[in-house]
Structure 1
Amino acid sequence: MKQTLLQAAALAALFSTALGAPSAAGAAVSADEAAKLKTTLTPLGAERAGNKDGSIPPWDGGMSKAPAGYKSGEPRPDPFPSEKPLLSINAKNMDQHAAKLSDGVKALMKKYPDFRIDVYPTHRTAAAPQWVYDNTFKNAIRAKLVDGGHGTENAYGGIPFPIPKDGYEVFQNQRLAWIGSNLQTPIRVWVVTADGKRALASGGIETMSRPYYDPEGSLEKFDGYYQLGKFVATEPGSKAGESILAHDNLNAGVPRSLWQYLVGQRRVRKAPSVAYDTPDAVTSGIGLVDEAFMLFGPIDKHQLKLIGKKEMYIPYSNNKASTAKVAELFTPNTLNPALVRWELHRVWEVEATLAEGKRHVVPKRKYYLDEDTWQIILFDGWDAKGELWRTNFTLTLLAPDIPALVGFVMWGGYDLQTGAYYMNMASNELPTQYKTVPSIPRSAFSSEQLANEGTR
């Protein structure tokens, strides 16, 4: 009888792993495993070595020095202005490179004969401050998954699971990826309709505080709120004054708090429906709420399975695109291929499938996360009929002054069925860009303050 129970337990554990369930107890790694972060792995958990043929170089510390004369908030220059593409991939030759292309990229090539990706030499530009590396090492042997894999405890100030065991740990790394501590940026949201018409959907100021990455804080002082963010619209005139505020906690048992200020109602209200597959009004409904920032809000309607690591062509260090003219970047059908930089990098692949008893208009997604930053760079989504529907991207901005490679800006998506696309968090033709700011008081992220800023 005892042997039968043991066999049943082992079978159940194997079955759960196959379905992508979180690792048992979300255990931290051993001290011996963590020691790899100082030898064969980078301080954030990527492979320190390059690949066999040298097309992916070794990580040598990334880029952590701002260009001479650079001032915070200025548009950042292209770090590699003289480089030329190594190759271009389009519908004619994509079969030769299919293993390193996402399904969404291949679908764009098939749909639009003029679409291509220009592949440049790979540079592992990602970097973070030393204190983030130090905290990541501490987290490796103390952080644990909780709340069925949707929460984290005993982590602070660094990547929580630099040596992940499953897709849930990988996604907690994404939520807590290093993009700076206190941030502010003017942004615009551009949409391009199926008939090629470009329009400004929204514009305003995005402000974010990440208490999890307070360099003066500690695990003992941390109250669980890892991110506080708000967006206040200033354009177009019909949306000026609209705003949204979000408080996100590492404990999935603490529901995220989200408020909206709508000018027509002249009041702040709770907005629990701004989640999951609700059409995102900021992108004129082309995007979904949980596609924002590549991942926004809970993902508990899906179960996550870590497929593994692979080499893939992904957008990288797109400072050139960030300073391009609007009319040149946002062209009919797709972003202008000549302005988008792609590189070969190793990525973690995670498959999200609809959990039993749950509902979502995108029941299956495949996510690709950059190994050097833990940020989602590309993901694809399939509809209920099993047809590829959506493909999303972030171009990534290299900000050596922070230092960080930021996937929090220039993100967007293509609707492969309607032909429309959008890009959010764009600063093209604006005088300032994504920047770090001094510590922001919690009172700046109160619902009362949201009403004050939204009133016009």
Structure 2
Amino acid sequence: MTPFAKHTILAAAALIAALPLHAAVSPEEAAKLKTTLTPVGAEKAGNKAGTIPAWDGGMNKAPVGYKNGDPRPDLFPGEKPSFSINAANMTQHADKLSDGVQALMKKYPDFRVDVYPTHRTAAAPQSVYDNTFKNATRAKTLEGGFGMEGAFGGVPFPIPKDGYEAIWNQRTAWRGGNVMLPMRVWVVTADGRRAMASGGTQTLSQNFYAKDGSLEKFDGYYSLGKFVANAPGSKAGEAILALDGVSEAAPRGLWQYLVGQRRVRKAPSVAYDTPDSVTSGIGLFDEAFTLFGPIDKYELKLIGKKEMYIPYNNNRAASAKVEDLVTPNTLNPAQVRWELHRVWEVEATLAAGKRHVVPKRKYYIDEDSWQIALFDGWDAKGQLWRTNYALMLTLPDVPAVSNFVLWGGYDLQNGSYYLNMASNELPKQYEIVPPIPRSFFSPESLANEGSR
């Protein structure tokens, strides 16, 4: 073999190694987004049993008299549960219940799932649909699946081929663009005591959907977030800033402002299995928003699609009084709406040589919105330990469905649980705001916010 031939082979091998994990789908496959699939890749048709209806465009008009930032009304106020599932009859429905939900039923005899008629309310602006169609044939995963390129302004992989693509769809799912909301975090101990762990203002900017943006202008940071605490007194003024990117070319940025130190510092520990201080340590940082920060300690497998009962269209719960919603042992079953939807199941298993206190997780991602509705976690002994949820708020005024509010988790072993991003009894709820200056999401701005 000549030196030139050897060099050519090595160069080709290096090129192959650097290729994305999967290429984009063909134009023929992408064409399904205009026929049998919805514009974001869900099955347009209902199921054979008629218990999941066909998607007809979702809910995309604001209720009469609605003002931005007001609590969204219950969209189906006259509906009653079709049936309920509890410990006594859960075996009849086990194939459509997550392991965590079944564990809650076994642990708490009063816990139940009230199943309502299914409404496929998820919708998005036409620009999201147009960009999703473009992304289908140009988006690619990189860096072993933990990075991506070629996507902007829509679902990156509407026809996913593996778990990495499905998780990227969750990370970049349309949730309204720029959002600001007052919020509180409620924790409940095993003996039933409720307390507010944190309160403050959360600001989120989906830079991935910037109105004046494009694939060519996109700087690689898909999400910008800032939380500034104002309660309780011991935490007032604390702040967290997170900038999340789509690849190593846009490295993650994390900063904290701590009142006691009176300075901003980088905060690499606000990730993975570090106990989340915002939830008084009941949750883990990578459980925040159902998935926060890198997931590169895991191997991801796309198990497939299944029908499952998940929390959905929970506008009524979002307007409930705190004492009526956050009750001992679990959220009040009478306040939480569950529906039958198709979900993508993604299994995350700890990779060789990596460490995490939750070595196995299962994520259930709503096909219509590409957002995690439920996920479970197992400990190192293989025992089910954690079950997490998002109540899924429907925002017809946007239009969108969002799992970035009313999410939380249960510790099945010690009996505690929490509810995060709750605006119940507060003056605003998930307010859509104009584009936010990039300077707002800077360490300098964090210092100014925290020191007020």
TM-score (norm 2): 0.95
Q: Which of 347, 354, 361 in structure 2 is aligned with 1:358? A: 354
Q: How does 1:86-105 map to 2 (within 5 A)?
A: 86-105=82-101
Question: 2:167 maps to which residue?
Answer: 171
How many angstroms apart in 2 are the aligned matches of 1:24 and 1:69? 48
Asked if 1:242 is matched to 2:234, the reply is: no
How many angstroms apart in 2 are the aligned matches of 1:155 and 1:254? 14
- Deviation per CA, 1:102-122: give whole Å up to 9, x if none: 000000000000000000000
Amino acid aligned to 2:196: L
Using a 3 Å threshold, how does the CA distance of structure 1 residues 253 and 81 change in structure 2: closer, same or farther?
Answer: same
Asked if 1:409 is matched to 2:405, the reply is: yes
Q: Is the 8 A contact 1:147 1:253 kept in 2?
A: no
Q: How does 1:303-342 map to 2 (within 5 A)?
A: 303-342=299-338
Question: 2:111 maps to which residue?
Answer: 115
Q: Which of 435, 439, 443 in structure 1 is aligned with 2:439? A: 443
Question: 1:296 maps to which residue?
Answer: 292
Amino acid aligned to 1:249: G
Is the partner of 1:26 in helix, strand or coil?
coil
- Segment of structure 1 superposing worse, 248-257 or 55-64: 248-257
Q: Which of 187, 192, 202 in structure 2 is aligned with 1:191? A: 187
Amino acid aligned to 2:128: V
Q: Is the 8 A contact 1:150 1:252 kept in 2?
A: no
How many angstroms apart in 2 are the aligned matches of 1:367 and 1:92? 26
Q: CA deviation at 1:217?
A: 1.0
How many angstroms apart in 1 are the aligned matches of 2:292 and 2:20? 26
How many angstroms apart in 1 are the aligned matches of 2:244 and 2:88? 45
Is the partner of 2:21 in helix, strand or coil?
helix
- Deviation per CA, 1:340-371: give whole Å up to 9, x if none: 00000000001000000000000000110000
Q: CA deviation at 1:224?
A: 0.5
How many angstroms apart in 2 are the aligned matches of 1:419 and 1:289? 19
How many angstroms apart in 1 are the aligned matches of 2:328 and 2:196? 14
Asked if 1:77 is matched to 2:73, the reply is: yes
How many angstroms apart in 1 are the aligned matches of 2:290 and 2:229? 20
- Segment of structure 1 superposing worse, 427-436 or 127-136: 427-436
Asked if 1:455 is matched to 2:451, the reply is: yes
Question: 1:224 maps to which residue?
Answer: 220
How many angstroms apart in 2 are the aligned matches of 1:25 and 1:404? 30
Question: 2:366 maps to which residue?
Answer: 370
The structure 1 segments of at least 4 consecutive aligned residues displaced by more than 2 Å after TM superposition are: 252-255
How many angstroms apart in 2 are the aligned matches of 1:452 and 1:435? 23
Q: CA deviation at 1:181?
A: 1.1
Amino acid aligned to 2:146: H
Question: 1:48 maps to which residue?
Answer: 44
Q: Which of 234, 251, 255 in structure 2 is aligned with 1:255? A: 251
Amino acid aligned to 1:170: A
Is the partner of 2:222 in helix, strand or coil?
strand
Q: Is the 8 A contact 1:364 1:382 kept in 2?
A: yes
5+ residue gaps, structure 1: 1-22
How many angstroms apart in 2 are the aligned matches of 1:225 and 1:114? 44
Amino acid aligned to 1:418: N
- Deviation per CA, 1:74-106: give whole Å up to 9, x if none: 001000000000010000000000000000000
Q: Which of 407, 427, 439 in structure 1 is aligned with 2:423? A: 427
Amino acid aligned to 2:244: D
- Deviation per CA, 1:371-404: give whole Å up to 9, x if none: 0011011000000000000000000101111100
Question: 1:379 maps to which residue?
Answer: 375
Amino acid aligned to 1:99: D
Question: 2:62 maps to which residue?
Answer: 66
How many angstroms apart in 2 are the aligned matches of 1:252 and 1:87? 48
Is the partner of 1:220 in helix, strand or coil?
coil
Q: CA deviation at 1:252?
A: 3.6
Q: Is the 8 A contact 2:20 2:142 kept in 1?
A: no
How many angstroms apart in 1 are the aligned matches of 2:47 and 2:266? 49
Question: 2:9 maps to which residue?
Answer: none
Is the partner of 2:192 in helix, strand or coil?
coil
Asked if 1:391 is matched to 2:390, the reply is: no
Q: CA deviation at 1:25?
A: 3.5
Q: CA deviation at 1:431?
A: 1.2
How many angstroms apart in 2 are the aligned matches of 1:222 and 1:99? 42
Q: CA deviation at 1:131?
A: 0.4
- Deviation per CA, 1:316-340: give whole Å up to 9, x if none: 0100000001011011000000000
How many angstroms apart in 1 are the aligned matches of 2:356 and 2:250? 22
How many angstroms apart in 2 are the aligned matches of 1:288 and 1:203? 18
- Deviation per CA, 1:213-262: give whole Å up to 9, x if none: 01221111111111111000011111110000011111145431100000
Amino acid aligned to 1:172: W
Question: 2:142 maps to which residue?
Answer: 146
Is the partner of 2:447 in helix, strand or coil?
helix
How many percent identity over aligned positions? 76
Q: Is the 8 A contact 1:443 1:449 kept in 2?
A: yes
How many angstroms apart in 1 are the aligned matches of 2:212 and 2:449? 28
Amino acid aligned to 1:136: T
Question: 1:6 maps to which residue?
Answer: none
How many angstroms apart in 1 are the aligned matches of 2:235 and 2:68? 29
Q: Is the 8 A contact 1:314 1:378 kept in 2?
A: yes
Amino acid aligned to 1:374: W
Is the partner of 1:44 in helix, strand or coil?
coil
How many angstroms apart in 2 are the aligned matches of 1:24 and 1:70? 45
Q: CA deviation at 1:158?
A: 0.2
Amino acid aligned to 1:435: E
Amino acid aligned to 1:126: A
Question: 2:124 maps to which residue?
Answer: 128
How many angstroms apart in 2 are the aligned matches of 1:218 and 1:227? 15
How many angstroms apart in 2 are the aligned matches of 1:360 and 1:97? 32
Question: 2:157 maps to which residue?
Answer: 161
Q: Is the 8 A contact 1:131 1:215 kept in 2?
A: no
